[in-house]
């Protein structure tokens, strides 16, 4: 529950919540938040001669951070592109049953001074949940219901893509929604100041606000992890849980049967005599593992568990692209008899009734005459124009998904030497096909156009939007460019002990300008093949190329943002925190086709005491004058279901407790960087990371 002004004032009066000094309650206490004012002290990041910042080396902080104090009545000028750490004038004390969220004031946001941002309710995110496994979920549903989940995210230190626990659920104020479009056709709806990810000159991960991202190359997935709960068989009882059209047969006994009122006594005796019961009367969790299922009033049965074979994946993909389903039949149509032979052979393996007929147009139709198979197919992949990759398919083995992809292409695709293309009128399927490509390690892109389409099976012509999804293992351009880590490459050349001329010779370049142009930032991006030549030349001298190895591994790829446009939507927004065990992950995957998004809401943990450090960025084109004492941020409060068992503070070794003034990152104190001797792990020097954005880090 978010506290209202009445709740906040009552808490302040009771003394368990403290905000001091709160000089003007009428002005600072808003309907559901408290305005906090800007303090006098700022930490500025200076240009430095050190080759890169090592987050784990506390003694370097003084080389790149300086403190500035601005007396009351004077101004601090924040120039375009500048980033500084400020602080609130107020000191806060958060009780153990509240969590506080820090947001920038919208009035400053209109001047392009950014603190935090988020996503609209219906934007999809790709998560794993204990109940349903991998799938697409609306972020608003996940946040409002606080559903336990794991996000697909990359580790900024290693660039590995895996799953990480969602650690908090955040509802933010009403904001304008923007659409960000990438060169590949990927799209995401976010607030304009929501952060995407790119690389800095040192090869480290850095954030870039979506408003300022046009022309930049940002991170997208090059791969997706396999499910922690991978399925080897399709459990039909789980698929149809509670469905009264499905009858379950078990010769060894049914287990517990909870007969419903609509099953009359004669029907119960009939079911008992056949060792059967409607699925609506039993639970998949307690039903026998060795059971058969049938559609009501039919003798055709299938085993409870259908093996998830590659051939099953291909048939399902072929149906999604080319098939149709009615209540008691599934139909496939194609001019290629060999493809229909393949479909027929698979269904014959389950003794299904098959009927084939060739039409005047040369299109042959294959019909599977089975209400049960129709129900299975429709439950998994839908019907009509809404056919799609099943959410549960993301929990299937790669070899099944690989054939599902092949079935899609065989059904409604084209194959070329350099790429394959899937065509569909379903935008959701186009997006899912891009996620599928990432899961299989393929590059993908999509585009759409208005087109008339002839449907042979129905002998009709329709018009509408056609989406095309290209996939390839080695595309000529898209996905092959990487933001230039110019400083990292210069550092490695110096470590290798090579001049530019010697480096050019080692890489087979005719001129040292090929090296100097890259090191001096003449290019914003380079091809992976170019970066690989640098890596091989420097690795041959035993230089530490680990960061280049991580970038070249392609767990993440980079694509150019081609458009950022305002929509007409103004609404509440939502965010997820992904920071397992205090580690800096702070990203999750969402949007059409898949884009890595930043969780950027500032957080004050239960038990936190002290001033709040503010991350202030000027994303505009003109300098902005900041005055100590001006209202700069808002603090909202969410009541926890129960007080935190281990609140922020000394017991946890919390490193920002009782801070006075802005504090630079102390990530080097995190457990993963400290060995048994208490010293920073020297092996982490070249690992890049992002700064901790919360007071709970």
Would you say domain 481-554 falls under CATH 3.20.20.105?
A: no
Dist. CA 505–CA 528, nearest whole Å? 19
**Amino acid 586: pLDDT:** 82
Helix, strand and coil content of the chain, in percent to the nearest 5, comes to 25, 35, 40
Dist. CA 454–CA 457, nearest whole Å? 9
**Amino acid 407: pLDDT:** 97
What is the mean pLDDT of the segment spanning 440-459?
77
pLDDT bin (cut points 50, 70, 90) of residue 685 is: very low
Assigned fold of 5-116+603-644: Deoxyuridine 5'-Triphosphate Nucleotidohydrolase; Chain A (2.70.40)
Among 211-215, 518-522, 628-632, whose mean pLDDT is lowest?
A: 628-632
Of 661 and 243, more confident: 243
Dist. CA 198–CA 206, nearest whole Å? 5
Order the strands of the 292-295 sheet from edge to edge: 276-278, 246-249, 292-295, 301-303
Of 239 and 655, more confident: 239
pTM: 0.72
92-117 pLDDT tens trace: 998 988 877 676 554 454 344 444 45
Mean pLDDT of the chain: 84
Token digits of residue 24: 């003007």
Token digits of residue 242: 């509670």
Of 64 and 254, more confident: 254
Tell me the sheet residues that pair with 19.
Answer: 92
**Amino acid 493: pLDDT:** 96
Find out whether 190 and 180 touch, Cβ atoms under 8 Å.
yes
What is the mean pLDDT of the segment spanning 205-224?
90
CATH classification code of 308-472: 3.10.28.10
pLDDT bin (cut points 50, 70, 90) of residue 683 is: very low
Q: Domain 119-177+188-214+573-600, what architecture?
A: Beta Complex (2.170)
Which of 193-207, 480-494, 633-647, 671-685 is predicted most confidently?
Answer: 480-494
Dist. CA 538–CA 534, nearest whole Å? 6
**Amino acid 453: pLDDT:** 61
Q: Give ranges for CATH 2.70.40.10 in the chain.
A: 5-116+603-644
Find out whether 607 and 94 touch, Cβ atoms under 8 Å.
yes
Does 84 have pLDDT greater than 80? no
Q: Give ranges for CATH 2.170.16.10 in the chain.
A: 119-177+188-214+573-600
Token digits of residue 222: 């090059």
Q: Percentage of the chain surpassing pLDDT 70?
A: 82
Dist. CA 503–CA 496, nearest whole Å? 9
Dist. CA 126–CA 391, nearest whole Å? 10
- Contacts of residue 119, Cβ cutoff 8 Å, sequence gap at least 6: 125, 139, 188, 189, 190, 191, 194, 573, 574, 575, 590, 597
Q: Give ranges for CATH 1.10.260.40 in the chain.
A: 481-554
């Amino acid at each position: 529950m978010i506290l209202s002004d009445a709740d906040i004032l009552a808490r302040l009066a009771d003394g368990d919540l403290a905000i001091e000094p709160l000089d003007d309650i009428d002005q600072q206490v808003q309907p559901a938040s408290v305005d906090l004012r800007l303090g006098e002290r700022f930490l500025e990041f200076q240009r430095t001669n050190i080759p890169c910042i090592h987050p784990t080396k506390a003694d370097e902080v003084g080389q790149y951070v300086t403190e500035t104090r601005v007396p009351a009545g004077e101004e601090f000028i924040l120039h375009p592109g500048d980033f500084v750490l400020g602080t609130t004038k107020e000191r806060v004390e958060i009780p153990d049953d509240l969590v506080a969220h820090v947001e920038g004031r919208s009035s400053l946001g209109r001047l392009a001074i950014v603190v935090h941002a988020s996503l609209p309710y219906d934007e999809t995110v790709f998560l794993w949940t204990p109940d349903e496994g991998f799938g697409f979920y609306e972020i608003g549903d996940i946040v409002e219901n606080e559903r336990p989940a794991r996000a697909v995210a990359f580790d900024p230190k290693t660039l590995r893509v895996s799953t990480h626990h969602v650690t908090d659920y955040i509802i933010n104020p009403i904001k304008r929604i923007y659409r960000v479009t990438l060169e590949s056709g990927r799209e995401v709806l976010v607030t304009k100041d929501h952060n995407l990810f790119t690389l800095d000159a040192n090869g480290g991960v850095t954030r870039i606000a979506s408003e300022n991202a046009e022309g930049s190359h940002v991170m997208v997935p090059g791969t997706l992890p396999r499910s922690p709960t991978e399925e080897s068989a399709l459990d039909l009882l789980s698929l149809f849980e509670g469905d009264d059209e499905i009858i379950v047969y078990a010769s060894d006994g049914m287990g517990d049967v909870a007969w419903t009122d609509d099953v009359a006594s004669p029907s119960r005796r009939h079911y008992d005599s056949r060792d059967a019961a409607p699925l609506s009367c039993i639970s998949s969790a307690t039903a026998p593992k060795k059971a058969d299922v049938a559609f009501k009033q039919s003798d055709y049965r299938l085993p409870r568990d259908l093996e998830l074979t590659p051939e099953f994946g291909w048939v399902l993909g072929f149906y999604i692209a080319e098939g149709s389903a009615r209540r008691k039949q599934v139909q496939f149509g194609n001019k290629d008899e060999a493809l229909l032979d393949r479909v027929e052979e698979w269904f014959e393996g389950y003794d299904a009734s098959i009927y084939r007929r060739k039409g005047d147009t040369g299109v042959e139709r294959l019909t599977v005459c089975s209400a049960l198979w129709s129900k299975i197919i429709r439950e998994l992949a839908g019907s009509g124009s809404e056919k799609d990759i099943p959410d549960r398919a993301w929990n299937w083995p790669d070899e099944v998904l690989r054939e599902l992809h092949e079935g899609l292409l065989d059904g409604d695709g084209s194959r070329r030497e350099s790429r394959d293309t899937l065509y569909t009128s379903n935008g959701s399927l186009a997006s899912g096909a891009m996620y599928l490509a990432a899961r299989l390690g393929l590059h993908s892109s999509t585009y759409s156009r208005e087109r008339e389409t002839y449907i042979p099976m129905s002998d009709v012509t329709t018009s509408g939007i056609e989406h095309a999804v290209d996939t390839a293992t080695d595309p000529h351009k898209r996905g092959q460019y990487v933001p230039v880590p110019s400083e990292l490459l210069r550092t490695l050349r110096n470590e290798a002990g090579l001049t530019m001329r010697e480096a050019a010779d080692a890489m087979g370049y005719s001129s040292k300008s090929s090296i100097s142009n890259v090191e001096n930032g003449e290019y914003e991006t380079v091809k992976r093949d170019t970066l690989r030549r640098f890596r091989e030349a420097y690795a041959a001298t035993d230089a530490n190329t680990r960061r280049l190895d991580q970038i070249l591994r392609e767990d993440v790829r980079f694509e150019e943002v081609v458009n950022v446009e305002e929509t007409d939507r103004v609404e509440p927004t939502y965010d997820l925190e992904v920071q397992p065990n205090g580690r800096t992950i702070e990203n999750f995957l969402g949007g059409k086709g898949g884009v890595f998004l930043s969780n950027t809401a500032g957080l004050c943990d239960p038990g936190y005491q002290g001033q709040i450090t503010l991350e202030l960025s000027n994303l505009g084109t003109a300098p902005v004058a900041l005055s100590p004492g001006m209202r700069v941020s808002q603090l909202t409060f969410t009541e926890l279901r129960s007080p935190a068992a281990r609140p922020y503070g000394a017991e946890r070794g919390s490193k920002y407790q009782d801070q006075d003034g802005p504090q630079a990152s102390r990530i080097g104190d995190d457990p993963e960087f400290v060995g048994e001797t208490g010293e920073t792990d020297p092996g982490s020097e070249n690992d890049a990371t992002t700064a901790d954005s919360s007071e709970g880090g």
